[in-house]
Amino acid sequence: MKFYVQHATAAVCNSNDTAGQRISCGRFCRDVEADNATIVESFVSESWTDIGGYVAVDDVREEIVLSIRGSSNYWNWVADFDIPFESCSSLVEGCKVHRGFASAWSELSGPATRAIQAARSAQPNYSLVFAGHSLGGAVASLAAAYFRQNETSVDDYTYGSPRVGNHVFANYATKQSKAFGSQYRVTHNVDIVPRLPLLVLGFRHISPEYWLKGGRPSQNDYPISSMRVCDGIANTRCNEGTWGTSSLEDAGIAHLHYFQPVSCGSSAVPVNVPDEL
């Protein structure tokens, strides 16, 4: 878990890189840099979704990694109390997901899928890993669901992801991960983003949740033994149970710390928490 947050972080400052470049973000992704992970293709949206990321190859770990970065305007998506669902019935009947997340994946799916296919053609025995922080985690989980639908094994690592879809999507994605790869949905302390969009709006999470509990909102050093695992698509025993226990400022700070600061120097996804939450 600690390793792949480096990829999620690196997507913040490598989504404009060209093919063949090595991933670089200094002290924020030292292990990824040490592996000489190389960009296959990077993506950055010029539309309102503000989504971006890259596909990279790590020859040391023998992995192909799709990393998706968060968005500077994600509060417009997850904090709105009138959030529209969009059908994802091509996955399973009754499936619905957040329209913004669906739009973001729709933008990335073409170039990302082509880059992954090219990398897999060159290295057919490499495993496939998706990673993302915040909104990037939500889009990574949606992407994993579509890839797994085609019986492609994907290990998906998300950090501070908001809820992606309704109970049908959450149950479907949870069952998928048991058959076609692993799902690691990590939350931190009082991070507010995994608690959004609200349960009352019909949104649910993929199960299980791996909660980094206790400590300071800016704490990065969490031994695996201190992690609490909570099952259920609407569980309230982990991060969801922290409503009313912290300031909004601390909730925002916790969102930017997952084993390390989720930042590339001066580049970071800002957390401007709206007053109405």
Assess whether 31 carries a catalytic annotation.
no
**Residues whose CB is less than 8 angstroms from the CB of residue 66 and which lie 6 or more positions away in sequence, other chains included:** 53, 54, 55, 112, 116, 128, 129, 130, 131, 140, 143
Catalytic residue among 7, 133, 188, 255: 255
Among 42, 103, 134, 141, the active-site one is: 134
- Model confidence pLDDT, tens digit, residues 237-265: 999 999 988 898 999 999 999 999 997 76
Reading the block at residue 97, the tokens are: 């997901």
Q: Catalytic site residue 71? A: no
Domain range list for the chain:
4-255
Statement: residue 53 has pLDDT above 70: yes
Going by pLDDT thresholds of 50, 70 and 90, the confidence category of residue 267 is very low
Tell me which of 39-53, 124-138, 154-168 is least confident.
39-53
Is the per-residue pLDDT at 212 higher than 90?
Answer: yes
- The sign one gets for the Cα dihedral 27, 28, 33, 38 is negative
Residue 266 clears pLDDT 70, i.e. is over it: no
Angle of helix 167-179 versus helix 135-149 axis, rounded to 10: 60
The model's pLDDT over 54-70, given as tens digits with 9 standing for 90+, comes to 999 999 999 999 999 87
Helix (H, G, I), strand (E, B) or coil at 219: coil
Q: Residues 191, 205, 207, 257: which is the catalytic one? A: 191
pLDDT at 277: 43
Q: What is the pLDDT of residue 276?
A: 42
CA atoms within 13 A on the CB side of 115: 24
pLDDT at 180: 95
Phi and psi based region of residue 184 (left: phi greater than 0; alpha: psi -120 to 50; beta: remaining): beta
Which residues have C-beta within 8 Å of that of residue 24, sequence separation ≥ 6? 10, 13, 14, 33
Q: For position 13, what pLDDT does the model report? A: 76
What pLDDT, on a 0 to 100 scale, did the predictor assign at position 18?
75
Amino acid 70: pLDDT: 75
The whole-chain average pLDDT of the chain stands at 89
Average pLDDT over residues 268-274: 45
Instruction: Give percent of the chain above pLDDT 70.
Output: 89
Q: How confident is the model at residue 206 (pLDDT cuts 50, 70, 90)?
A: very high
Decide if pLDDT at 97 tops 60. yes
- Report pTM: 0.91
Q: Which of 8-22, 107-121, 161-175, 186-200 has the lowest mean pLDDT?
A: 8-22
Residue 78's pLDDT is what?
52
Q: Is 218 a catalytic residue?
A: no
pLDDT of residue 29: 87
CATH node for 4-255: 3.40.50.1820
The pair of structure tokens assigned to 225 is 């033994």
In the prediction, which pLDDT does 221 show?
92
